[in-house]
Amino acid sequence: MAERLKFWGWGREGEGPDDAALNRIAQSLGQRFGRELELVAPPRIDEIALRPPRLAPPPALREILSADPHERARHTYGRSYRDIVRTLARDFREPPDWVAFPRDAGDVAAVLDWCSASRCAVIPFGGGSSVVGGVEARLGDAYAGVVSLDLARLDRVLEIDRSSRAARIQAGILGPALEDALRPHGLTLRHYPQSFEFSTLGGWIATRSGGHFATRYTHIDEFVESLVALTPRGRLETRRLPGSGAGPSPDRLFLGSEGALGVITEAWLRLQDRPRWRARADALFASFEQAVAAVRALGQSGLEPANCRLLDADEAASAAGGSGEHALLLLAFESADHPLGPWLERGIEILRDHGGRVQEQSAREQSDDGGARAGAAGTWRSSFVGAPYLRDGMVRMGVLSETFETAVTWDRFATFHAAVIGAAREAVREHCGQGRVTCRFTHVYPDGPAPYYTVLAPAERGRELEQWDAIKARVSEALIAHGGTITHHHAVGRDHQPWYTAEAPALFRSMLAAAKREVDPAGILNPGVLVDVT
């Protein structure tokens, strides 16, 4: 039987590097930071004091509600650095009072009815992989109680329409189960966020998640053909259409609604045939600027590479075995339909035109899409998959390890990047004394990149949240001031709300608040996310 999910960190119990491996990493990082790093033990559930549930549920709902301490603790936080710091500090001061596991839409509606009538907040919960405080009940006593509404039991692919190449899928399904169900039909959603294994379709739709493909179909937005959402005012189902010009799109209102407007219970998704042809090349660049110019040219070439990931020299050293002197560009193409030799050739020409030194290249037919990749791309891929476990280990050793991400147009990129990485490095020096900030591009559009920054610094035990919040505030100010977005794919949640308020037009925010009042008159749905609590 599969192990239980950890209540405090990434993955299942027993998964991730063991203490011996973490101690080796602690030693080498300790040497770098000039201090001794000691591992704190992960929390055990019997060490956690949870306040008793503040309200009693109606008997009819008892069957789907749990007050089990492991479940309440697991649903208290998402999986950001801030969250792991608090779980390791055994700080679970605002757990949900109950965790609901609805079996069907009727159960979801019953929970919404009960909570609307008793002013109890409802926080929809998919995989709980939010990194922006999206699933956390940071509500004090403003509500009579809080229910975490976990959609894990709504986990099936219900219908496949082969001719339109689409499927009707329940919102609580996790990435691997979704792909397992589509594989026998030769189909794939081909949406792979880094959190794929422990995040759900409903969570992806509610947060407008970004998959790891660099261009073209990468946001979940592109795949949603229609959806069903349950609100306290009733059920809403949008029409299945390949496209429509009939007014503002109702799907779009729910994409990115982060549980504040309704509970997404199922959706029709556009699928793709499984890729057969692959081609890839890795190139080194003497300067980050040259590599950026190459990425822009590739992004505007119409080649639409599946991967076009640029790692600055420091990031290439830590994540892909680089020397620390060169920026690294990982370029890849995929197709279910045709060999990719010409695409690769033209891509390589562009890399060379911008000073890129091609290290490795290959173009072949390869139907196994889970297979090992060679060279720098292979090293990068395994560090990508293992990163969340390692991050938890680093927090255990007292290292600040967190990321922030954004997108900006090409005309602003150079000034923007200098200002943002400058602000981050200055804030890290000021609050941690030393540390490293690196950059990679996760997505590339014809009109601009989505840069993703990683911060690694020695933290002070007991002051981790204060340190990170100060750094995060400084970089968030810089992102907004220089024309970027507060988030390209991590969503708004509670953590980004002040900068979302600065980014989204005031009149639009009033429209959103009015829409929320219409579907959620008691204001119970994920309060404080997107729309301020009134």
Residues 297 and 350 sit within 8 Å (Cβ to Cβ): yes
Q: What is the DSSP string of 360-378?
A: EEEEEE---TTS---HHHH
Q: 517: Cβ–Cβ under 8 A, 6 or more apart, which residues? A: 523
CA 517 to mean position of chain CA atoms: 28
> Would you count residue 397 as binding ligand FAD (CB under 6 A)?
no
Q: Which of 280, 489, 496, 516 touches ligand FAD (CB under 6 A)?
A: 489
The residue (of 79 and 482) whose beta carbon lies closer to ligand FAD is: 79
| Residue 126 interacting with ligand FAD (CB under 6 A) | yes
* Of the candidate residues 66, 116, 170, 194, the single one contacting ligand FAD (CB under 6 A): 194
Residues in contact with ligand FAD, counted by CB under 6 A, come to a total of 37
Task: Tell me the C-alpha to C-alpha distance, in Å, between residue 209 and each of 181, 205, 255, 341, 346.
Answer: 21, 7, 9, 31, 30
Contact flag: residue 459 with ligand FAD (CB under 6 A): no
In sign, the C-alpha dihedral spanning 439, 444, 445, 446 is positive
Which residue lies nearer to ligand FAD by CB, 124 or 484?
124
Residue type, 292: V
Handedness of CA 397, 398, 404, 410 (dihedral sign): negative
The correct pick among 137, 169, 171, 420 for binding ligand FAD (CB under 6 A) is 171
Pull the structure tokens for residue 42: 């992960």
CB closer to ligand FAD out of 326 and 391? 391
Restricting to residues 9-68, which ones interact with ligand FAD according to CB under 6 A?
A: none
User: How many other CB atoms are there within 10 angstroms of residue 314's CB atom?
Assistant: 19
Nearer to ligand FAD, 283 or 526 (CB): 526
Among 116, 209, 238, 476, binds ligand FAD (CB under 6 A): 209
Instruction: Give CA–CA dist 196/10, Å, rounded.
Output: 12
Q: Which is nearer to ligand FAD, 157 or 263 (CB)?
A: 263
Gap between the Cα atoms of 173 and 311, Å rounded? 32
If DSSP states are collapsed to H, E and C, what string results for 182-225? HHHHCEECCCCCCCHHHCEHHHHHHHCCECCCCCCCCEHHHHEE
**256 is a site residue for ligand FAD (CB under 6 A):** no
173 binds ligand FAD, rule: CB under 6 A:
no
203 vs 451, beta carbon nearer ligand FAD:
203
> Residue 476, interface with ligand FAD (CB under 6 A)?
no
Q: Which residue is nearest to ligand FAD (CB)?
A: 203
Q: Is 331 in the site for ligand FAD (CB under 6 A)?
A: no
Q: Which of 80, 110, 141 is nearest to 401 (CA)?
A: 80
Each residue 344-383 as x (binds ligand FAD by CB under 6 A) or -, in order, gives ----------------------------------------
Q: Which stretch binds ligand FAD (CB under 6 A): 111-119, 195-203, 315-323, 363-371?
A: 195-203
Q: Based on the shown chain and the rule CB under 6 A, indicate whether residue 232 belongs to the binding site for ligand FAD.
A: no
Helix (H) or strand (E) holding 443: strand 436-445
State the nearest-atom distance from the C-beta of 198 to ligand FAD, in Å.
7
66, 116, 200, 476: residue in contact with ligand FAD (rule CB under 6 A):
200
188 binds ligand FAD (CB under 6 A): no
Binding segment (CB under 6 A) for ligand FAD, from list 162-170, 204-212, 363-371, 418-426: 204-212
Q: How far apart are CA 297 and CA 292, in angstroms?
A: 9
Smallest gap from residue 389 Cβ to ligand FAD (A)? 9
Judged by CB under 6 A, the stretch of 350-358, 374-382, 462-470, 483-491 that binds ligand FAD is 483-491
* DSSP-derived secondary structure letter, 63: G
Q: Examine residue 490 and tell whether it contacts ligand FAD (CB under 6 A).
A: yes
Dihedral pair phi/psi, residue 280, rounded to 5°: -155, 155
| Smallest separation (angstroms) from ligand FAD to the CB of 348 | 27
SS3 456: strand
The Cα 254–Cα 264 span in angstroms is 8
Residue owning tokens 């400084």: 474
C-beta separation of 304 from 458 below 8 A: no
Buried b (16+ CB within 10 A) or exposed e, 458-486: bbeeeebeebbeebbebbbbbbbebbbbb
Quick one: which of 66, 76, 188, 207 contacts ligand FAD (CB under 6 A)?
A: 207
Decide if residue 454 touches ligand FAD (CB under 6 A). no
Smallest distance, Å, CB 263 to ligand FAD?
5
- What are phi and psi for residue 160, nearest 5 degrees? -125, 130
Candidates 259, 254, 275; CA nearest to 343 is 275
How far apart, in whole angstroms, are the C-alpha atoms of residue 173 and residue 150? 11
- Asked if 218 interacts with ligand FAD (CB under 6 A), we say no
Q: Is 5 in the site for ligand FAD (CB under 6 A)?
A: no
- 480 near ligand FAD, judged by CB under 6 A: no
Q: Which stretch binds ligand FAD (CB under 6 A): 29-37, 191-199, 281-289, 344-352?
A: 191-199
Cβ of residue 202: shortest distance to ligand FAD, in angstroms? 2
Q: Which of 8, 33, 92, 204 binds ligand FAD (CB under 6 A)?
A: 204
Binding letters toward ligand FAD, positions 70-99, x by CB under 6 A? --------xx--------------------
**Applying CB under 6 A, which residues contact ligand FAD?**
78-79, 123-131, 134-135, 151, 171, 193-195, 199-200, 202-204, 206-207, 209-210, 258-259, 263-264, 388, 489-491, 526, 529
